[in-house]
Structure formats: C-alpha cells, structure tokens
A and B are shown apart, each in its own frame.
Chain A
Amino acid sequence: MDYLNIKKLSATSFLGCVLAISLLPSQAAAQAMSPMRGQVKSFTEAFALKVYPANPYNHRIRMEIKVYDQNFRPVKGARVSPAEFTLGGRFARPVNVIVPFDGQKVRKVRVCTESIPFPSEQKATTIKAQVCGKFLGERIQ
C-alpha cells in the first residue's frame, strides 16, 4: 500500500520538485554537506532538496543519507537517491531528497549525512560523524 502511495506521490510531485531543485545552490566543494539550511516552496504534495554530501578525508568512505523530523524520528515516505554510497576522498556528489508534506502545510526536516564507522578495534569507542542540514518545506496551495 505504501509503495503505491509513493508511486502516486512521485508522479504528482515531479514538476514541482524539478522547480524546487533548480532553485537550490549548486556549488559544492570538499564539504561534509552543502547546503545545510534551506527553504523550499512546492505546489505539490512533496518538496525536493538537492544536497551535496562530501568526503573530507583523503580515502574513500561509505556514507548514508537519512531524513529525520524535528524529533529525530525517520520521516516516513521520504525518498533519498542514492541513500547509501561510497565516495572517494575529497569528492562530493549530489543526492536528491523528496519529502512528502504528509498533510502538513509546512514541514521541517533534517537531512543527515552519516559516515559508516571504520572497522572497530577491540575495546574501542567508535565515533560516528553526522552532519545534519535543516530544511523547511512550504506548500503553496
């Protein structure tokens, strides 16, 4: 059922999302994630974001992009493409995020870039880096 809803959402929101994506800043350098703040207006049932996660290290790492609400609960129905990938050292790549309004007129979300921790040593406390951008989606009716 959720799958069907997502397909419907995808079709109806495509045009609005294309507009929203094209309005976002496109520059990206060796940064963990850019931009980290944004406000998007959408005519549809969802809004789209384009973020540029970056690998600040000199070696490749695996990264995961997740979408959370204000209370750090995963946003149901949010689509991230690609959600998980390997990124070479000092590289950045675009990631598209589509967030459903889910009946709300305004929706605040966090889009987080998470590094997948390096293999742990025994008796080790591993630090997992998480860089989160805060975005506001506004539905125009």
Chain B
Amino acid sequence: MKNLLKAIAATAFVVVPMQSIAATGDIPFNGTVNATCIVNVGANGVMTTSADLQTFGSNQAGGSAGTASVVANGGTFNMSVDPVTSFDTEPAADATSSETFTPSYASTGATSAAPGTTGSTAVGAGTSNVTVDLVAVKGGTDVFAAGNYTATVTLRCE
C-alpha cells in the first residue's frame, strides 16, 4: 500500500504540465515598401564614325552603347530617353555645321524594349538591363571634323 501511494505520487508529479512555467509573447512587425525606381548607370558609350565620316554613333563599328540598369518594384513607371540637341563638347572646326541626333535604347530583363526604341516603355517589376545608343548624322556633304566629342543622354524613369 505504501509503495502504491509512492507510485501514484510520482506519476502525478510527472503529469504536471511543464509549459505553465514558460511565458511567451508575440512581437508584431510591419513595414511599407514604396513603389520606386532606381537607375544605375554603368559604362559610358563610345561613338565612332562611319566610313564616310557623316555618321558618328555608338552603333558604328568599334563603338559601344552605354549601359544602365533600371530596378523597379511595381507601380506604373516608364523609361525613356530625352532628345539630344548638341554635343557637350566638340572641336572648334565642327562648330560651323550641325548634325541630327537620335538617342535610343534597348532593354532586356524585366522590361523588353527592342534596339532603337525612342519612345516611352512601361517598366516591369525587377531589374531591366538597358543599353543606350546615340547616333549623330551630318547632312549634305558635311563630315565630322577631327577632334574629341562628348555628349550626354538622359535616361529617365518616372
């Protein structure tokens, strides 16, 4: 009988719920991610001349497009390039004749835009790999004078 009581007491002790000793609490987290667009400019473009010296552009042999990545997380953003009206710098010998500029871009990744795109394109969510080209063309019998030229193309996300 004595042993039976001891066994019952031991069993009762083991059965006592252990979780009542510990206390827990939930900590809530929250946050907001704004719809946004990031433009990371990569490499500069390089312009070279055509064989007849009337076209000077990044799409010519030996030239290269500028690169950028556009990251968007949704929203209703568009990418575009601004018109270019003149070189930032050009040789004095070239200042007397004008040229016509055509900035364009292409995109792969989250946004698809064919090479030569000049208008606005809806930006997809994710990372878009963008290449930007600039071509300047002389009219008539004018040619690009020898010297150094620089130009700037604005890539916009809005």
Contacts and interface: CB of A to CB of B under 8 A. Distances in A.
Interface of A: 25, 27, 31-37, 54, 56-57, 110, 112, 114-115, 117-118, 120-134
Contact of B68 (A27, A34, A36, A127): A127
Majority DSSP secondary structure for residues of A touching B: strand
**How many of chain B's residues touch chain A, expressed as a range?**
35 or more
Given A35-B35, A56-B40, A125-B47, 5 more contacts: A124-B46, A125-B133, A129-B154, A129-B155, A130-B156
A132 B157 contact: yes
Interface in B46-101: 46-48, 58, 65-68, 71, 75, 77, 82, 88-89
B155 A125 contact: no
10 nearest CB pairs, A to B: A125-B45, A132-B158, A129-B39, A124-B44, A32-B38, A127-B66, A130-B156, A120-B150, A31-B36, A128-B154
Majority DSSP secondary structure for residues of B touching A: strand
B44 A34 contact: no
A114 B157 CA distance: 11
Nearest to A61: B41
Contacts of A121: 44, 46
A126 B58 CA distance: 11
